[in-house]
Amino acid sequence: MRTVRQLLADKPAEVFAVAPGAPVVDAIRLMAEKSIGAVLVLDGAALAGILSERDYARKIVLQGRSSADTPVSAIMSAQVVTVDPDTAVPRCMQVMTERRIRHLPVIEDGRVVGVISIGDLVKAVIADQQAELEQLQRYIAG
């Protein structure tokens, strides 16, 4: 069973983040430039929150706020669900399903070491199933 550490090893090590005081428009620009659905909010090295496209849609667009004048801290999700690198992929999928979230920051020794998305998990599950299927086919044929 794969772990988060194994998933992170297959991804670029880059973590995209903004400061709590940054205007929301900067976070949205970063998400657009990097083709990602969420950015971490870091206060120095400390995880302060996470900002997703969903937060933007519900807390800026629907409430008629200005993304240029609103700080990220006003709309970010401050209660961030995190995992550690040794968490198993099925556990991450369970957490994401139960909490209805799409991104999990990965924390090791009190610092952010990566982020995994639901897409990362689905890709890993498909790859594992494909490998298992190929193994079974070899067993049957041999």
All structural domains of the chain: 4-141 (3.10.580.10)
- For 110, residues 6+ apart whose C-beta sits below 8 A from its C-beta are none
Helix or strand (DSSP H, E) at 46: strand 46-52
Distance CA 42, CA 76 (A): 11
Q: What is the pLDDT along the chain (142 residues), one digit of tens a residue?
A: 799 999 999 898 899 999 999 999 999 999 999 999 999 999 999 999 999 999 999 999 889 899 999 999 999 999 999 999 999 999 999 999 999 999 999 999 999 999 999 999 999 989 888 988 888 888 898 7
CA distance 99 to 129: 25
Q: How far apart are CA 53 and CA 135, in angstroms?
A: 40
